[in-house]
């Protein structure tokens, strides 16, 4: 607490606060730039001393500890910081703290104690995933609901009305469908009564703002960190003088992160870090650090990187080049700024592929040979990358970390700082979005840990939004030359891909893998190149390599079908061998919207509509080392413990459901303890492997409990004809609930393991992640409307078929799919990281110019789960998170073609590009 | 150092940046890492109302929030373009705080000038980075050295209505002189003018007006092109017209030839080619902004249709 008096300041305390001087003719003048503010927060008088540049959000969060107000975009674009000011939803990050003078503020903590109908509606409709944006949405929703009900009774608001009321609120998980349904139902009075059953285990904590994210952690004596970043994309650090920063009062440590003489390869690269008593001071200290550079011309974008005289991004050594994906980069040849090829196919296939393409080119068959391009997409999770490091003893580290890999992060940290795994504890109860960017040890963690060691105090380092957008991770831009050929019998006769990925200074792109995954055929020549540029490293992003690959492949297939006058479904069915997708094609054929689609030639006028189909596949990964501990107490309580995490994907709910199903009890009877690396090993939430890992382990643990209790009944209690039934067991003399049996036992503990699948798995991988047999499949249809005058595109309806086995918690699975679809819409229409071409400095540094979808983008979504085909998998389920987003952009591309008769080869589909193609 | 004057006359006498809602100044200060003296208008009691003027127009106080402006039934009835423009800006959570004065006098939204690593014409540098670099969202009707488009949506609607600006000293200035009256170079000097209100003249009988915004995302997005249109009718024909384009030039841009082309026609029966030609003729796009010319030409037709849907 920095000099504040806090909530609950008594009137006696208020009396001692000197009133602001109002004597001067120019109005009241505050001393220096500190200003006293008197306001009311959640019904209590508050007096706080604030800085002139302090926002209302800073006051609420930092001075008053009201962490339900989230700091995310810092510029009024996302609404996570919303509070009600005199009853009106307000973005508090963009309101000066001084403006709260005499106002009355209600934060999410001030609702209640009863849940508001909007909160109940959010829970019932699963209108949230990671939950970070939820308090802001809830407060804006509460204000809208209360006004609506006063004016319209129980009438239902329209989508436009809800979208307008919630404009300026961003949900990066894209839970907009649930949010919209929740708002309509709450307004219609459907949630005025008691709370109904809701599917998300940690939902209550999220709708009430009680969920504490890493960014909300405040330890006694905690320092705040800030980092000096290179303003040059290609330079040599000449000199670094930390002393001016060190000399500032309140600065506790300053460390160098780069040494004089070292190369700087991207703008935003870490140079030095400061820990100080507050964040503003830390940032000021960073500005005092003197760094000088020998600046060279940077390489920005594909063309600059591949120009004959291009400067080399890695001129002497490329050792230590970061890897963009979760898997290790395979060795490859470096040729200037191009590295590769990483060939996903063998030489014989190459020859066959080239022959097939050549033959089609000469008229024996059909050929589609095009270049496809995708933009760079930033993860931009609403909770930024953040770590709070606390050395509780010289050899013992407690790290609060926003991560999707609790267990493996603890191992990596132990290795880096020379500790035993038992000496590192990583905690992450709630994760405000990750999408792949929070899986590996990155500078933000290293900075916090090193500064905490240096100062002997807890240190928090949270990226600001501009840093998050620059270094927080991105999906690389890709350009693909793809030749796709079919022979005269319309069989796939050649697929020749040259993919180049710009993941900045990082390597190891594997776009070609996706082309191998689809349409099993020998005649493939798949070559992947990294193109090195002076841009920040990419990081894995939901289905790494997938959305760009399908953007090219699935449009090429569609184009080939058009040229061959073949139905796009029947062509895919002829080529495809994936059993899940083959069943899904039948489902597509049954859809009235698909059957009734019009050809582009039959449309005229300004607004054109079209429907497009795309298919996708994804790997089945699981973590064989996963363990779930089950503790059962004599009082009947049952708890599952695992060092995995829930980043909004619903890990908690899936674990509880899996164990509850074995025991035949309601899932809310099972307590959960996750997000702590000291628990038994849990999977990282990468590669869509969480469910396929924890579900069987939780199930196995519950089975052991069940069997033990059956044993107790038979042998200790001497019961006969014992058999398990829902909720307990039956015996010759009646029924006994598990709870009753537990009262006869000492505390019981079992470790459930992730047992092998029937028939085993592949040899690829290790205990943290292994490739299973079989692949999940998806089909995606999108209907678009194109405004041919203004070049704007709206996705109106989508149909998604998912074949990933058994669906355990349908509402949460749907939330995952919906989120994946809308993220895919953002990828296709808006998301566009931009770098200045001459300096390499990033231009899109805020959520006002890095555009992501809002509620108004929500299409009408239909989802079909095909649950068959994975019976050999323990638990019967493989992941679906990535599957849901892979084919969205491609389906939109095909829909654009169906609508306009034109082929759009570059995303995002900005109005300028759409107009350009339409005019061509 | 910050002061809280209680009148705008006091505010004008103090040095420092004038802060009304502060929605953007907070972000600018955070990005720059430093901030100078602030003259905060929080305690100014007047200028928060929308009042009828003697000649039948409206006086909109400079501290009126965008939400109040957008929700005001009188404004909606008399000046649909102003009402629609206000409602199109950002989201409700910003409109609750942001003010009319702040919207008119905000800094440009150029991604170079806002990035502390670029020294540009606005921050004492010698070059316009956008001109040489990524100008996708910059001007297409290029009129000045700095390539950033005027950021104020309200200014557009006010220009369409020939609004007057009232400064703290009760002087009145035509809205076309916005950036001359409020000279950016002097914005922190004591004695610079402070906006008191915007005066909208009485709408003529049967006046039609509209505001139209073209953006990539349907809501809460910056405009790629925006347009405000006013048509005064006499005997069912257009007597006088204002056609103002925004987000495409350094100031709200009237297209006089297009305005002339509208005169004498019945609303809805215009020669669109002539208007489009007038727009295209006055365009001077940057390398990446010729699409904005197309959008402007296309938006005019929508703007006229929208005006017909908002009869007084």
Domain boundaries, chain A: 11-110, 117-211, 334-376+479-561, 570-620+771-919, 622-768
Superfamily of domain B208-309: CO dehydrogenase flavoprotein, C-terminal domain (3.30.390.50)
Residue pair A504/A298 in contact (Cβ under 8 Å)? The answer is no
The whole-angstrom separation of Cα A78 and Cα A858 is: 16
Give the pLDDT band of residue B273 (cuts 50, 70, 90).
confident
- Reading the block at residue B95, the tokens are 């409109």
pLDDT score, position B196: 98
Q: Give the torsion sign (CA, A905, A906, A912, A914).
A: positive
Residue pair A471/A234 in contact (Cβ under 8 Å)? The answer is no
Minimum CA–CA partner of A27 in chain B: B5
**Out of B23, B112, B295, closest to residue A94 by CB:** B23
Q: So what CATH class is A622-768?
A: alpha beta
B93·A168 Cβ contact <8 A:
yes
Superfamily of domain A117-211: [2Fe-2S]-binding domain (1.10.150.120)
B42·A99 Cβ contact <8 A:
yes
Helices A568-575 and A546-563: crossing angle in degrees, nearest 10, is 110
Lowest model confidence (mean pLDDT) among A7-21, A153-167, A222-236, A424-438: A7-21
List all residues of chain B from 143 to 162 with a beta carbon under 8 Å from chain A: none
**Out of A79, A792, A836, closest to residue B93 by CB:** A79
Question: Residue A9 pLDDT more than 50?
Answer: no
pLDDT score, position A32: 62
Q: What's the fold here for domain B45-140+155-200?
A: 3.30.465
Task: Identify from A23, A24, A25, A26 which residue to disrupt to test chain B contact, counting B C-beta atoms within 10 A and taking the largest count.
Answer: A26
Minimum CA–CA partner of A467 in chain B: B31
Helices A134-152 and A117-124: crossing angle in degrees, nearest 10, is 120
The 3-state DSSP class for residue A712 equals helix
Minimum CA–CA partner of B219 in chain A: A167
Q: For chain A, what percent of residues have pLDDT higher than 90?
A: 90
Where in the sequence of chain B do the CATH 3.30.390.50 domains occur?
Answer: 208-309
pLDDT score, position A259: 97
Question: Residue A134 pLDDT more than 60?
Answer: yes
Mean pLDDT of A610-622: 97
B176 touches chain A (CB under 8 A): no
Tell me the pLDDT of chain B averaged across its residues.
95
Q: Cβ-count burial of A267 within 10 angstroms (0-12 exposed, 13-18 middle, 19+ buried)?
A: buried
**Out of B13, B220, B298, closest to residue A26 by CB:** B13
B67 touches chain A (CB under 8 A): yes
Could you read off the pLDDT of A662-689 as tens digits, one per residue? 999 999 999 999 999 999 999 999 888 9
Helix (H) or strand (E) holding A883: helix A883-886
Could you read off the pLDDT of B48-78 as tens digits, one per residue? 999 999 999 999 999 999 999 999 999 999 9
Task: Identify from A264, A911, A916, A919 which residue to disrupt to test chain B contact, counting B C-beta atoms within 10 A and taking the largest count.
Answer: A911
B214 touches chain A (CB under 8 A): yes
Give the pLDDT band of residue A33 (cuts 50, 70, 90).
confident
**Out of A24, A29, A790, closest to residue B295 by CB:** A790
Q: For chain B, what percent of residues have pLDDT higher than 90?
A: 87
pLDDT score, position A30: 45
Mean pLDDT of A818-841: 98
Mean pLDDT of A217-234: 98
Q: Tell me the chain A residues in contact with residue B91 when contact means C-beta distances shorter than 8 Å.
A: 76, 79, 91, 166-169
Four-way CATH pick for A334-376+479-561: 2.120.10.30, 3.30.365.10, 1.10.357.10, 1.10.3720.10: 3.30.365.10
pLDDT score, position A687: 86
Could you read off the pLDDT of B285-309 as tens digits, one per residue? 999 999 999 999 999 989 988 888 8
pLDDT score, position A84: 98
Cβ within 8 Å of residue A531, ≥6 positions away: A302, A305, A306, A337, A338, A339, A500, A501, A502
Question: Residue A318 pLDDT more than 60?
Answer: yes
B40 touches chain A (CB under 8 A): yes
pLDDT score, position B312: 61
- Which CATH number is associated with domain A570-620+771-919? 3.30.365.10
Give the pLDDT band of residue A601 (cuts 50, 70, 90).
low
Q: The tokens 């108004």 sit on which residue?
A: A856
Helix (H) or strand (E) holding A814: helix A810-829
Four-way CATH pick for A11-110: 3.10.20.30, 3.40.50.300, 3.30.300.30, 3.60.110.10: 3.10.20.30
* CA dist A131 → A201, A203, A232, A648, B146 (Å): 12, 8, 36, 7, 42
Q: Phi/psi of residue A442, each to 5°?
A: -130, 170
Q: Tell me the chain A residues in contact with residue B137 when contact means C-beta distances shorter than 8 Å.
A: 849
pLDDT score, position B60: 98
A911·B216 Cβ contact <8 A:
yes
The 3-state DSSP class for residue A328 equals coil
CA distance B181 to chain A (A): 23
Residue pair A818/A861 in contact (Cβ under 8 Å)? The answer is yes
B305 touches chain A (CB under 8 A): no
Question: Residue A27 pLDDT more than 50?
Answer: no
Q: Tell me the chain A residues in contact with residue B1 when contact means C-beta distances shorter than 8 Å.
A: 30, 32-33, 52
**Out of B19, B134, B219, closest to residue A163 by CB:** B219
Give me the interface pTM, i.e. the ipTM: 0.97
Scored b (16 or more CB within 10 A) or e, A700-736 reads bbbbbbbebbbebbeeeeebeebebeebbbbbeeeeb
Give the pLDDT band of residue A6 (cuts 50, 70, 90).
very low
The whole-angstrom separation of Cα A162 and Cα B219 is: 12
pLDDT score, position A874: 93
pLDDT score, position A392: 97
Give the pLDDT band of residue A12 (cuts 50, 70, 90).
very low
CA distance A95 to chain B (A): 6
A95·B298 Cβ contact <8 A:
no
Question: Residue B22 pLDDT more than 70?
Answer: yes
Question: Residue A281 pLDDT more than 50?
Answer: yes
Could you read off the pLDDT of B114-144 as tens digits, one per residue? 999 999 999 889 999 999 999 999 999 999 9
Pairing of strands B38-40, B17-19: parallel
A89·B132 Cβ contact <8 A:
no
B38 touches chain A (CB under 8 A): yes
pLDDT score, position A834: 98
Residue pair A880/A821 in contact (Cβ under 8 Å)? The answer is no
Mean pLDDT of A444-467: 97
Pairing of strands B195-200, B164-167: antiparallel
Question: Residue A887 pLDDT more than 60?
Answer: yes
* pLDDT greater at residue B25 or residue A32: B25
Could you read off the pLDDT of A701-728 as tens digits, one per residue? 999 999 999 999 999 999 999 999 999 9
Chains A, B: CB contacts within 8 A come to 207
The 3-state DSSP class for residue A700 equals helix
- Reading the block at residue A315, the tokens are 């001129």
pLDDT score, position A327: 67
CA distance A84 to chain B (A): 9
A95·B97 Cβ contact <8 A:
yes
B45 touches chain A (CB under 8 A): no
B26 touches chain A (CB under 8 A): yes
A55·B26 Cβ contact <8 A:
yes
Mean pLDDT of A135-151: 98
Q: Tell me the chain B residues in contact with residue A784 when contact means C-beta distances shorter than 8 Å.
A: none
Give the number of C-alpha atoms closer than 13 A to the C-alpha of residue A832, restricted to the C-beta side: 20
Give the pLDDT band of residue A1 (cuts 50, 70, 90).
very low
pLDDT score, position A8: 33
Long-range Cβ pairs for the range B42-46 (8 Å, 24+): B42/A96, B42/A98, B42/A99, B42/A101, B42/B4, B43/A27, B43/A28, B43/A101, B43/B4, B43/B5, B43/B6, B44/B5, B44/B6, B44/B7, B44/B8, B44/B11, B45/B6, B45/B7, B46/B7, B46/B8, B46/B196
The whole-angstrom separation of Cα A69 and Cα A133 is: 9
Tell me the pLDDT of chain A averaged across its residues.
94
3-state secondary structure B200-244: ECCCCCCCEEEEEEECCCCCCCCCCEEEEEEEEEECCEEEEEEEE
B191 touches chain A (CB under 8 A): no
Q: Tell me the chain B residues in contact with residue A910 when contact means C-beta distances shorter than 8 Å.
A: 216
Mean pLDDT of A365-387: 98
Say how far residue A598 (Cα) sits from the centre of its chain: 36
B31·A841 Cβ contact <8 A:
no
- Reading the block at residue B22, the tokens are 């502060």
A94·B94 Cβ contact <8 A:
yes
Task: Identify from A167, A168, A914 which residue to disrupt to test chain B contact, counting B C-beta atoms within 10 A and taking the largest count.
Answer: A167
**Out of A29, A88, A98, closest to residue B42 by CB:** A98
Could you read off the pLDDT of A55-65 as tens digits, one per residue? 999 999 999 99
Q: Answer yes or no: same fold for A570-620+771-919 and A622-768.
A: yes
């Amino acid at each position: 607490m920095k000099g504040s008096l806090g909530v609950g300041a008594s009137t006696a305390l208020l009396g001692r606060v000197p009133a602001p001087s109002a004597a001067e003719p120019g109005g009241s003048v505050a001393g220096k730039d500190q200003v006293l503010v008197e306001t009311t927060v959640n019904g209590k008088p508050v007096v706080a001393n604030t800085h002139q540049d302090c926002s209302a959000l800073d006051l609420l969060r930092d001075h008053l500890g009201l962490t339900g107000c989230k700091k995310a975009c810092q510029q009024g674009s996302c609404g996570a910081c919303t509070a009600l000011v005199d009853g009106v939803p307000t973005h508090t990050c963009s309101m000066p703290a001084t403006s709260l003078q005499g106002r009355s503020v209600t934060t999410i903590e001030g609702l209640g104690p009863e849940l508001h109908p909007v909160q109940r509606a959010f829970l019932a409709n699963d209108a949230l995933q990671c939950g970070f944006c939820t308090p802001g949405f809830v407060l804006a929703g509460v204000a809208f609901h209360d006004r609506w009900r006063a004016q319209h009774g129980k009438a239902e608001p329209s989508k436009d009305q809800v979208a307008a009321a919630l404009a300026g609120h961003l949900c990066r998980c894209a839970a907009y469908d649930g949010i919209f349904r929740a708002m309509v139902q709450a307004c219609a009075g459907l949630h005025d009564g008691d709370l109904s059953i809701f599917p998300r285990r940690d939902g209550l904590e999220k709708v009430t703002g009680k969920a504490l994210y890493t960014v909300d952690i405040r330890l006694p004596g905690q320092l705040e960190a800030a980092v000096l970043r290179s303003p040059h994309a290609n330079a040599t650090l000449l000199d670094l003088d930390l002393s001016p920063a060190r000399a500032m009062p309140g600065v506790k440590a300053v460390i160098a992160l780069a040494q004089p003489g070292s190369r700087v390869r991207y703008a935003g690269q870490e140079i030095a870090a400061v820990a100080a008593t507050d964040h503003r001071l830390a940032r000021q200290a960073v500005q005092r650090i003197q760094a000088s550079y020998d600046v060279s011309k940077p390489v920005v974008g594909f063309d600059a990187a591949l120009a004959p005289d291009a400067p080399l991004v890695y001129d002497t050594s490329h050792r230590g080049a970061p890897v963009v994906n979760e898997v290790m980069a395979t060795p490859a040849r470096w040729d200037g700024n191009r590295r590769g090829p990483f060939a996903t196919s063998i030489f014989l296939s190459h020859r066959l592929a080239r022959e097939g393409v050549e033959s089609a080119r000469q008229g024996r068959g059909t050929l589609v040979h095009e270049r496809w391009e995708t933009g760079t997409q930033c993860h931009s999770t609403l909770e930024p990358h953040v770590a709070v490091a606390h050395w509780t003893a010289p050899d013992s580290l407690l790290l609060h970390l926003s991560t999707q890999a609790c267990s493996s992060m603890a191992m990596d940290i132990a290795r880096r700082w020379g500790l035993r795994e038992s000496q590192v504890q990583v905690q992450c109860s709630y994760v405000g979005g990750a999408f792949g960017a929070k899986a590996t040890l990155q500078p933000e963690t290293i900075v916090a840990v090193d500064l905490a060691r240096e100062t002997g105090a807890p240190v928090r380092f949270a990226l600001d939004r501009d840093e998050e957008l620059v270094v927080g991770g991105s999906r690389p831009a890709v350009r693909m030359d793809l030749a796709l050929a079919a022979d005269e019998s319309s069989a796939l006769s050649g697929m020749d891909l040259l993919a180049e990925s710009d993941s900045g200074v990082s390597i190891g792109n594997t776009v070609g893998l996706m082309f191998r995954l689809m349409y099993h055929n020998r005649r493939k020549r798949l070559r992947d190149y990294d193109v090195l540029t002076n841009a920040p490293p990419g990081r894995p992003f939901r289905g790494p390599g997938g959305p760009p690959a399908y953007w090219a492949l699935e449009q090429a297939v569609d184009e080939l079908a058009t040229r061959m006058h073949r139905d796009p479904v029947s062509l895919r069915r002829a080529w495809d061998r994936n059993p899940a997708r083959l069943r899904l094609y039948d489902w597509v054929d049954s859809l009235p919207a698909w059957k009734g689609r019009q050809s582009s030639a039959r449309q005229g006028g300004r607004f054109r509509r079209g429907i497009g189909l795309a298919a996708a596949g994804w790997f089945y990964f699981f973590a064989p080392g996963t363990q779930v501990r089950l503790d059962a107490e004599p009082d009947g309580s049952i708890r599952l413990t695992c060092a995995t995490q829930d980043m909004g994907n619903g890990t908690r709910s899936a674990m509880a459901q899996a164990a509850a199903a074995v025991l035949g009890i309601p899932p809310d009877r099972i307590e959960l303890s996750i997000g702590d690396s000291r628990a038994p090993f849990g999977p990282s939430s990468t590669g869509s492997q969480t469910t396929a890992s924890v579900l069987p382990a939780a199930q196995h643990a519950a089975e052991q409990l069940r069997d033990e209790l059956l044993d107790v009944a038979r042998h200790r209690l001497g019961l006969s004809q014992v058999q398990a039934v829902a909720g307990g067991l039956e015996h010759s003399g009646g029924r006994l609930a598990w709870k009753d049996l537990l009262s006869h036992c000492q505390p019981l503990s079992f470790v459930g393991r992730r047992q092998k699948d029937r028939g085993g798995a592949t040899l690829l991988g290790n205990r943290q992640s292994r490739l299973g047999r079989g692949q999940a499949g998806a089909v995606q249809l999108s209907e678009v409307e194109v405004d041919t005058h203004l070049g704007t595109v709206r996705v109106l309806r989508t149909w998604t078929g998912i074949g990933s086995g058994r669906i355990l918690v349908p509402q949460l699975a749907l939330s995952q799919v919906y989120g994946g679809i809308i993220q895919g819409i953002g990828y296709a229409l808006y998301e566009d990281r931009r770098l200045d071409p001459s300096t390499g400095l990033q231009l899109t540094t805020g959520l006002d110019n890095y555009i992501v979808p809002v509620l108004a983008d929500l299409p009408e979504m239909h989802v079909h789960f095909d649950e068959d085909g994975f019976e050999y998998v323990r638990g019967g389920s493989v992941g679906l998170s990535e599957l849901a987003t892979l084919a969205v952009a491609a389906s939109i591309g095909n829909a654009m073609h169906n609508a306009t008769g034109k082929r759009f080869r570059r995303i995002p589909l900005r109005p300028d590009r759409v107009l350009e193609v339409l005019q061509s | 150092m910050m002061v809280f004057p209680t009148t705008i006359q006091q505010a004008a006498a103090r040095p420092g940046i004038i802060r009304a809602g502060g929605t953007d100044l907070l972000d600018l200060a955070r990005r720059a890492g430093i901030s100078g003296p602030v003259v905060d208008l929080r305690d100014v009691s007047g200028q928060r109302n929308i009042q009828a003027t003697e000649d039948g127009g409206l006086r909109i106080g400079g501290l009126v929030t965008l939400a109040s402006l957008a929700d005001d039934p009188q404004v909606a009835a008399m000046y649909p373009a102003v009402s629609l423009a206000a409602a199109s800006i950002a989201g409700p959570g910003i409109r609750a705080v942001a003010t009319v004065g702040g919207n008119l006098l905000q800094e440009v939204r150029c991604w170079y000038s806002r990035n502390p690593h670029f020294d540009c014409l606005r921050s004492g540098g010698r070059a316009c980075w956008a001109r040489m670099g990524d100008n996708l969202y910059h001007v297409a009707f290029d009129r000045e050295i700095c390539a950033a488009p005027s950021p104020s949506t309200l200014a557009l609607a006010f220009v369409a209505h020939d609004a007057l600006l009232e400064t703290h000293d009760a002087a009145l200035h035509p809205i076309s002189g916005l950036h001359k009256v409020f000279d950016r170079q002097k914005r922190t000097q004591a004695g610079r003018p402070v906006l008191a209100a915007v005066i909208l003249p009485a709408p003529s009988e049967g006046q039609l007006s509209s505001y139209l915004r073209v953006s990539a995302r349907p809501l809460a997005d910056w405009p790629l092109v925006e347009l405000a249109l006013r048509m005064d009718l006499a005997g069912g024909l257009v007597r006088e017209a204002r056609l103002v384009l925004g987000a495409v030039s350094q100031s709200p841009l009237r297209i006089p030839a297009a305005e002339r082309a509208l005169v004498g026609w019945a609303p809805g029966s215009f020669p669109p080619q002539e208007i489009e030609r007038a727009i295209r003729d006055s365009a001077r796009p940057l390398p990446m902004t010729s699409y904005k010319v197309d959008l402007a030409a296309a938006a005019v037709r929508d703007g006229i249709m929208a005006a017909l849907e908002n009869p007084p």
